[in-house]
Structure 1
């Protein structure tokens, strides 16, 4: 019996190791627009070549299903078209206003459905925001920042030898405020060699989840602070975090009808305090203060650069929380797409969103920035990101990779690091 059990375990392990997921699809759907940069003028029609490949060879026969229309909204047209030598052309029409149009494709090969999509831009640099700009927007935040800076904060650093290396010292960071019992956790990473260094603040992407320290920035010569935003110790185990995450629910909707109590208010102010803290470190070079992040972290990078006068440059990848009011005005809005649900659309919530929308913080940016996103991003859609990017008047670099979704290429990461080095004084 014991021998049989051992044989079963060995065979199970061998089967599992021999059947790891394939790194590529058996069938590929290539979508090739007739403009190499994926950009069209309003009023100009766009055509897409669809190529269906199996084993890298065009599929013979068959048909594809398609639908297209404005980005993330109800499709204007659906249909079926036959493939010829694995190819077909579809004209997805045009846009009469600056924005994006979306084409979705699906094909059935040997009983399995394969899908792909493409978003094409129409005069994207003319996209305007739909968001209101409250007359007291700046004074609202100036007052709140002044109040939070007057509060007595306590900072605790706990050395983490299990994460520290020969080049980097890692600490568990805890910033707490006894007066209103708010706190932030994170990881502070310092180059081990003595010297003066730039500081870099890295706010997180969305979610309630454990984070691990990232030592790459410190290895490159920055003192870096990466945080979580919910006041939860990131070193808790995954099961505990899952339970906490369920309890939190959709935090981005909490108190959305109350601008003074909206969930993100404390988050934005905590980011300001974290940068303030970094600038007090004895190893800080006294000159270079950077912020960088993607998605929610990209949004918080722009917001922190707008609210904290100490920041000298920023990098933001596919920022969330941009042009939140888009759906209320008949076009796609940014993550978390709160007003796509018509039941959440009230005057009070719409007005609150104006005080927290990245678009309105983007107007305040005064420092150089590196910005990057893709056109196929369904999470932080390009229409919303352009609405924020287009109002920035400070020096800015735009690194678009049209084919990417809610992710980025290593080459783009490299360019962002080169940008930060170029900003060091």
Structure 2
């Protein structure tokens, strides 16, 4: 079998390389307190796109630091009882996508919510000093500031806040909410389920935002992780603050949030993934203590994994 990373037997035991901040738990307790103090001011606006069997809305809410966050919301018609919901998260720099790919779950009786990450390719705001998109460099935003200003802290909180909003919708059964996404969406799936432990099922696919130091040591700080290299070249060219920088990144490292997950997990990984190296994904997966299952694709990288989305639909039908 081709080998990009560690052999599989080592991956299943791998414990991660990135340092964990000593005050990690206090950090996220403080962050969640800030999130809970925000008045969400949820707004539903009927979309121009509509289909016969579901209602489609643009959903808006106010997240931490005053950012107005947008999500697409598809609600099936003619279902009398509260029903399950699926929350979807997109890849890095992307957006919530077209309406059509939400309709599969809606046709099965699920409400579907797809969030635009703040400052990326959709319409959610990044209020970090400007209006509109900042689009790039989100991993390193805040590294030269207090850890409470890390941008991915805010994005992680957006996912948990949205999950709580979804659970409060009268048409949704709060005990039957699942989350899914690939790449950045996979990382946000882990973060959401960790910060909102009422999530019942989660299906992360080759999750991003895990074990940053391992990415660096593998010389894979390129593509989605390129900004790590850019940061060192610009702000620490001799790596005098390397340990401090990676420790600060530890606040937004999903491997350290993973143990908080209570929901059932189905995760997909390609062992030839050079974008999100397999070991970084296993660093998070190995720390999950809830019921979990891993679908492994030995010859596949950061790409479509045949049959996996069908498996995820079947998995979510158990909600």
TM over 0.5, yes or no? yes
Gaps of 5+ in 1: 1-32, 40-70, 72-98, 101-119, 237-243
Separation in structure 2 between the aligned mates of residue 265 and residue 357 of structure 1, nearest angstrom: 10
For 1:408 and 1:327, how far apart are their aligned partners in 2?
22
CA RMSD of aligned residues (A): 2.6
Matched, 1:265 2:153: yes
Could you say which structure has the larger radius of gyration? 1
Query: Displacement of 1:339 after TM fit?
Result: 4.0
**Match of 1:360?**
256
- How far does residue 163 in structure 1 lie from its aligned partner after superposition? 2.0
1:228 aligns with 2:228: no
- Asked if 2 retains the 8 angstrom alpha-carbon contact of 1:324 and 1:338, the reply is no
Question: What TM-score do the two structures reach when normalised by structure 2?
Answer: 0.85
Question: Following the alignment from structure 1 to structure 2, what is the Cα–Cα distance between the partners of residues 292 and 379?
Answer: 19
Which residue does 1:115 correspond to in 2? none
Question: What is the count of residue pairs matched by the alignment?
Answer: 300
Q: Deviations over 1:316-344 (max 9, x none)?
A: 00000111111555675795255455435
2:15 to 109, 120, 128: 128
- Map 1:24-423 to 2 at 5 A: 33=1, 71=4, 99-100=5-6, 121=8, 123-160=10-47, 162-176=48-62, 180-195=65-80, 196-209=82-95, 211-213=97-99, 214-230=102-118, 234=122, 248-258=135-145, 259-327=147-215, 329=217, 335-336=224-225, 338-340=227-229, 342-343=232-233, 346=241, 347-422=243-318
- Conserved in 2, the CA contact under 8 Å of 1:315 and 1:371? yes
Q: Which runs of 5+ in 2 are unaligned?
A: 125-131
Shift of residue 307, structure 1, vs aligned partner = 0.7
Q: Deviations over 1:210-245 (max 9, x none)?
A: 732222221222111101111679479xxxxxxx66
- SS of the aligned residue for 1:290 comes to strand
**Structure 1: 4+ residue segments shifted above 6 A:** none
Q: Is the 8 A contact 2:85 2:111 kept in 1?
A: yes
Alpha-carbon separation, structure 2, partners of 1:261 and 1:398: 33
TM-score when normalising by structure 1: 0.65
Secondary structure, counterpart of 1:301 in structure 2: helix
User: 2:94–2:122: 8 Å Cα contact kept in structure 1?
Assistant: no
Distance 1:208 1:316, change over 3 A: closer
Higher relative contact order (CA 8 A, sep 6+): 2
Q: Higher helix fraction: Structure 1 or Structure 2?
A: 2
Deviation string 1:183-235 (CA, Å, 9 cap, x unpaired) is 21110111112222112211221105573222222122211110111167947
Q: For 2:62 and 2:227, how far apart are their aligned partners in 1?
A: 30
CA distance in 2, matches of 1:235, 1:139: 31
Contact 2:96–2:115 under 8 Å retained in 1: no
- The residue aligned with 1:60 is none
